[in-house]
Structure 1
Amino acid sequence: MARRCDLTGVGPKVGHNVSHANNKTKRRFLPNLCNVTLHSDKLGQGFKFRIAASTLRTLDHVGGLDVFLAKADDGQLSPNALKLKRKLSKAS
């Protein structure tokens, strides 16, 4: 299973562990992924996604799943989210 957010496409970042002696070793910073069920107002049902915690805050700020998907770029959405976006565009 890919460690990638279904809605924003956020994935692992690469950096260094830096010791007190300033030795640098490679490491990965993994996104804080959460399994959530998000409710669509237009379709009136819930959908399961694996999204980053930062994306969850963004959804609250923007105004919900429907608004977020309407503005989202298709390239970063998962296949599951793209299907939902197409359903939402047909429904309106």
Structure 2
Amino acid sequence: MSRVCELTGKGPMTGNNVSHANNKTRRRFLPNLNDVTLMSEKLGRGYSLRISAAALRSVDHRGGLDAYLAKAKDSDLSDRALKIKRELAKAETAQA
């Protein structure tokens, strides 16, 4: 399972461990990923995604998964999230 957020595209970063003696060794900073099920109001079902805690706060702030995906850039989204976004757009056009 890759360590990349499905909504924001956040992945591992690299840096240094720095000791008291100022010795530097390489390390990885991993994103805080959580397995969550987010509900789509327009589609009426839940989607299981692996997203970062920051992305979960952003989804809540924007008013749900539907609103978040409407404003999200396609380049940041995973293939699964893009599929959900396309389903939302299809449902919206069918409703209008």
> TM-score of the superposition, structure 2-length normalised?
0.93
Specify the alignment match of 1:29 in structure 2: 29
Q: Which runs of 4+ in 1 moved over 4 A?
A: none
| AA matched with 2:58 | T
State the 1:2 CA deviation: 1.1
Give, in whole Å, the separation in 2 of the partners of 1:78 and 1:67.
17
Specify the alignment match of 2:65 in structure 1: 65
Give, in whole Å, the separation in 1 of the partners of 2:61 and 2:71.
13
Give, in whole Å, the separation in 2 of the partners of 1:58 and 1:75.
17
CA root-mean-square deviation:
0.7
> TM-score of the superposition, structure 1-length normalised?
0.97
Give, in whole Å, the separation in 1 of the partners of 2:55 and 2:6.
10
Specify the alignment match of 2:12 in structure 1: 12
Specify the alignment match of 2:91 in structure 1: 91
| AA matched with 2:41 | D
| AA matched with 1:42 | K
State the 1:76 CA deviation: 1.3
Query: Structure 1: where are the runs of 5+ without partners?
Result: none
Aligned residues: 92
Query: Structure 2: where are the runs of 5+ without partners?
Result: none
